[in-house]
Structure 1
Amino acid sequence: MSDIVCISPIDGTELARRPAANDSATAAALEAARTAQRDWRQVPIAERSAYVLRFLDAMLAMNQEIVPELAQQMGRPVRNGGEFRGFEERVRYVVEMAARGALDPVVPHDAREGFRRYVKRDPLGIVLVVAPWNYPYLTAVNTIAPALIAGNAVLLKHAAQTILVGERFQMAMDRAGLPKGLFTNLVLTHDQTSRLIGSGAVDFVNFTGSVEGGRAIERAAAGTFTPLGLELGGKDPAYVRADADLAFAVENLVDGAFYNSGQCCCGIERIYVHESLYDRFVEGFVDLTAGYVLGNPLDEATTLGPMAQGRFADLIRGQIAEAVGKGATAHIDPARFPANRAGTPYLAPQVLTGVDHSMSVMTQESFGPVVGIMKVADDAEALTLMNDSVYGLTASIWTADVEAAEALGNEIETGTVFMNRCDYLDPGLAWTGVKDTGRGATLSRIGFEMLTRPKSFHLRHG
Structure 2
Amino acid sequence: MREQGRLFVGGEWVAPSTDRVIEVVSPHSEQVFARVAAPDVEDVDRAVAAARQAFDKGSWPRLDPSERVASVRRLAGLYAPRREELARVVTAETGTPITFSRSVHAELPLAVMRAFADIAEGYPWEENRPGFYGRDIILQKMPVGVIAAIVPWNMPVLLAVMKLVPALLAGCSVVLKPSSETPLDAYLLAEVLEEAGLPPGLVSVLPGDRDLGRYLVSHPEVDKVSFTGSTEAGWQVATACGTELKRVSLDLGGKSAAVVLEDADPAAVAAGVKVAGLMNGGQACAAQTRVLLPRSRYGEFADALASMVESLVVGDPADPATEVGPLVTERQRDRVLDHIERGLKEGARLVVGGTGLPDGVDRGWYVRPTLFRDVDSDMRIAQEEIFGPVLTLIPYRDEEEAIRIADDTQYGLSGSVWTPDVQRGLSVARRVRSGTFGVNQAYSMDPAAPFGGMKDSGMGRELGPEGIEEYLDVKSISVAPPD
TM-score by length of 2: 0.90
Question: Which of 178, 203, 211 is residue 223 of structure 2 equivalent to?
Answer: 203
Deviation at 1:79, TM superposition (A): 2.7
Structure 1, 246-255 or 346-355: larger mean CA deviation: 246-255
Q: Which residue of 1 aligns with 2:128?
A: 107
Alignment length (residue pairs): 459
Residue 34 (structure 2) aligns with: 16
Aligned runs of 1:307-318 on 2, under 5 Å? 307-318=327-338
The answer to whether the Cα contact below 8 Å between 2:403 and 2:428 also exists between their aligned partners in 1 is yes
CA distance in 1, matches of 2:453, 2:24: 30
Which residue does 2:213 correspond to in 1?
A: 193
Which deviates more from structure 2 when the two are superposed, residues 347-356 or residues 195-204?
195-204
The structural deviation recorded for 1:267 is 0.9
Contact 1:307 1:346 in 2 (8 A): yes
Q: CA deviation at 1:305?
A: 0.4
Give the conservation status (yes or no) of the 8 Å contact 1:340–1:348: no
Does the C-alpha gap of structure 1 residues 23 and 354 become closer, same or farther in structure 2, counting only changes over 3 Å?
closer
- The Cα of 1:336 is off from its aligned counterpart by 9.5
Cα offset, 1:27, TM superposition: 2.6
The answer for the alignment partner of 1:183 in structure 2 is 203
Task: Provide the rounded CA distance (Å) in 1 between the counterparts of 2:343 and 2:41.
Answer: 47
- Whole-angstrom CA distance in 2 between matches of 1:450 and 1:240: 34
Amino acid at match of 2:27: P
What pairs with 1:20-419 in structure 2 (closer than 5 Å)? 20-37=38-55, 38-82=58-102, 83-100=105-122, 102-109=123-130, 115-333=135-353, 337-339=358-360, 344-419=364-439
Shift of 1:35: 2.4
Which one of 438, 442, 445 corresponds to residue 458 of structure 2? 438
- More deviation, 407-416/230-239: 407-416
What are the Cα deviations for residues 281-340 of structure 1, in whole angstroms up to 9, with x where unaligned? Answer: 111111122121111111223221001012222222222222223332222256893145
Q: Per-residue displacement from partner, 1:115-159 (whole Å, max 9, x unpaired)?
A: 431211100111111011111111111111111011111111000
8 Å CA contact retained: 1:59, 1:168: no
Residues in 2 aligned to 1:111 and 1:221: alpha-carbon distance in whole angstroms: 35
Please give the secondary structure, in 2, of the residue aligned with 1:206.
strand
More displaced stretch, 345-354 vs 216-225: 216-225
Q: CA deviation at 1:36?
A: 2.2
The structure-2 alpha-carbon separation of the partners of 1:81 and 1:25, relative to structure 1 and needing over 3 Å to count, comes to closer
Hey, what's the Cα distance between the residues in 1 that align with 2:101 and 2:467?
27
Query: Secondary structure at 1:168's aligned position in 2?
Result: helix
Alpha-carbon deviations, 1:78-109, whole Å to 9, x = none? 13343232212221111111111x24223225
Give the aligned residue type for 1:92: R
Deviations 1:214-269 (A, max 9, x none): 12222333422111111111101010011223322220112222221111111111
Question: Secondary structure in 1 aligned to 2:226?
Answer: strand
Distance apart, 1:401 and its partner CA: 3.0
Q: CA separation in 2, counterparts of 1:206 and 1:122? A: 17
Matched residue of 1:161: which SS? coil
Residues 275, 22 of structure 1: alpha-carbon distance in 2 compared, 3 angstrom cutoff: closer
CA contact (8 A) 2:436 2:443 kept: no
- Partners of 1:416 and 1:158 lie apart in 2 by 25
Give the C-alpha shift of residue 20 in structure 1: 2.9
Question: SS at 2:332's partner residue?
Answer: helix
Cα distance in 2, alignment partners of residues 43 and 347 from structure 1: 50
Q: Report the 3-state secondary structure (helix = DSSP H, G, I; strand = E; otherwise coil) of the residue aligned with 2:47.
A: helix
Amino acid at match of 2:296: S
The answer to whether the 8 Å contact 1:155/1:183 transfers is: yes
Give the deviation of 1:74 after TM superposition. Answer: 0.4
AA aligned opposite 1:49: V
Separation of aligned partners in 1, 2:251 and 2:48: 24
1:150-206 CA-to-partner distances (Å, cap 9, x unmatched) read 111111100011111221121111111111211111234422322232232111111
Alpha-carbon distance in 2 for matches of 1:214, 1:391? 13
Q: In percent, how many aligned pairs have the same letter?
A: 28
2:270 match: secondary structure: helix
Cα-to-partner distance string for 1:334-372 (whole Å, 9 max, x where unaligned): 68931456x951111011101112322111001100001
Q: SS of the counterpart of 2:156?
A: coil
Other structure's SS at 1:106 match:
strand
SS at match of 1:442: coil
Between the aligned partners of 1:153 and 1:445, the Cα distance in structure 2 is: 19
Distance in 1 of aligned mates of 2:208 and 2:394:
43
Whole-angstrom CA distance in 1 between matches of 2:271 and 2:216 = 45
1:23 & 1:312 partners in 2: Cα distance?
Answer: 27
Distance 2:310 2:146 in 1: 48
Query: Does structure 2 conserve the Cα–Cα contact (< 8 Å) formed by 1:339 and 1:346?
Result: no
TM-score when normalising by structure 1: 0.94
Give me the whole-angstrom Cα distance separating, in 2, the residues matched to 1:193 and 1:171: 22
Q: 1:7 aligns with which of 25, 30, 41?
A: 25
Q: Deviations over 1:393-424 (max 9, x none)?
A: 01111123333333323331211122111143
Q: What's the secondary structure of 1:10's corresponding residue?
A: coil
